[in-house]
């Protein structure tokens, strides 16, 4: 499916505005009186600039001095006609890792995907492709987190039955996605340290797999217009560590 098809999909789904066909159409004009409206030149940052914006927001969150940008009525009105998010963040469903909050971002800033352990499936990849191809996105962040329950459950399932780990219902699908990372991580007698090590392995694995499983992502990375960043969110400090 080409960009046009993806744009149509967005309209049909009713979850995204029509993907702009050029950078100029991408730009969000500042709304009059909008305190946090982006200027046209900062709506299309490079990957490094996009990461820096996330890093600065995370630093504000860590220090307990968030600005809560882009969360007022003016911003909501400004981005209603079209959006120009500057990054896609794939995170975990964990209630302690709300993506916009930990990066101190607001409405219209980020595409966000969340599932248990920030893993890939076809619909997640499709969503990232939609963002990358339709919005010329410069940055995709895969964000695992310490003490991830989904990773711990998979580790426990492997311990209980190394040859054929099991899990109830569709949770098994999640465990099977995490399993390669469990097997690829060096054993550690410290259970929590091992879980965190598997999180790191898994997040890197997901970042690698995204490029391998998506021709659209691979082409953008090869062209130098897109970077994939693997990261870990630390539950205790609130810091997002780039891997
Ligand atoms: Zn988690």
pLDDT tens digit string along 181-221?
999 999 999 999 999 999 999 999 999 999 999 999 999 99
Mean pLDDT of 44-52: 94
Cα(230) to centroid(ligand 1), Å? 15
On whether residue 33 sits in a domain, the answer given is no
Question: Phi and psi at residue 113, in whole multiples of 5°?
Answer: -120, 135
Q: What is the pTM of this model?
A: 0.84
Give per-residue pLDDT as tens, 74-112. Answer: 999 999 999 999 999 999 999 999 999 999 999 999 999
Task: Please state, rounded to an integer, the average pLDDT across all residues of the chain.
Answer: 87
Per-residue model confidence as pLDDT tens digits over 122-170: 999 999 999 999 998 999 999 999 999 999 999 999 999 999 999 999 9
Q: Give residue 31's pLDDT band: very low, low, confident or very high (50, 70, 90).
A: very low
How far does the centroid of ligand 1 lie from the alpha carbon of residue 42, in Å?
A: 32
Q: Is residue 135 included in any domain, yes or no?
A: yes
On whether residue 56 sits in a domain, the answer given is yes
Q: How far is the CA of 163 from the centre of ligand 1 (A)?
A: 24
pLDDT of residue 44: 78
Is 160 a member of any domain?
A: yes
Is residue 149 in some structural domain? yes
Range of the domain at 190: 3-27+43-242
In a domain, 167, yes or no: yes
Instruction: State the total domains in the chain.
Output: 1
Residue 38 in domain? no
Q: Is residue 32 part of a domain?
A: no
**pLDDT band, very low/low/confident/very high, at 43 (cuts 50, 70, 90):** low
Q: Has residue 1 got a pLDDT over 50?
A: no
CATH number at residue 126: 3.40.1050.10
Dihedral angle at the C-alpha atoms of 25, 28, 29, 30, nearest 10 degrees?
-170
Q: How far is the CA of 158 from the centre of ligand 1 (A)?
A: 17
Q: What distance in angstroms lies between residue 145's CA and the mean position of ligand 1's atoms?
A: 6
């Amino acid at each position: 499916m080409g960009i046009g098809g993806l744009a149509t999909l967005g309209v049909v789904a009713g979850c995204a505005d029509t993907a702009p066909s050029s950078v100029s159409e991408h730009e969000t004009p500042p709304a009059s009186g909008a305190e946090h409206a982006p200027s046209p030149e900062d709506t299309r940052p490079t990957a490094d600039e996009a990461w820096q914006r996330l890093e600065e927001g995370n630093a504000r969150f860590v220090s307990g001095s968030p600005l809560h940008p882009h969360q007022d009525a003016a911003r909501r009105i400004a981005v209603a006609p079209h959006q120009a998010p500057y990054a896609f963040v794939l995170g975990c469903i964990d209630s302690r890792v709300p993506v916009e909050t930990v990066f101190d971002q607001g409405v219209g800033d980020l595409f966000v995907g969340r599932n248990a352990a920030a893993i890939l499936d076809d619909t997640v990849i499709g969503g990232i492709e939609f963002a990358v191809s339709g919005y010329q996105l410069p940055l995709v962040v895969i964000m695992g987190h310490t003490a991830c329950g989904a990773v711990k459950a998979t580790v426990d399932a492997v311990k209980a039955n190394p040859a054929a780990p099991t899990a109830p219902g569709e949770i098994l699908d999640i465990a099977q996605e995490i399993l390669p990372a469990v097997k690829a991580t060096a054993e550690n007698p410290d259970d929590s340290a091992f879980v965190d090590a598997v999180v790191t392995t898994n997040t890197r694995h997901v970042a690698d797999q995204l490029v391998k499983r998506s021709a659209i992502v691979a082409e953008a990375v090869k062209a130098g217009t897109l970077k994939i960043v693997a990261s870990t969110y630390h539950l205790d400090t609130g810091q997002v560590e780039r891997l």
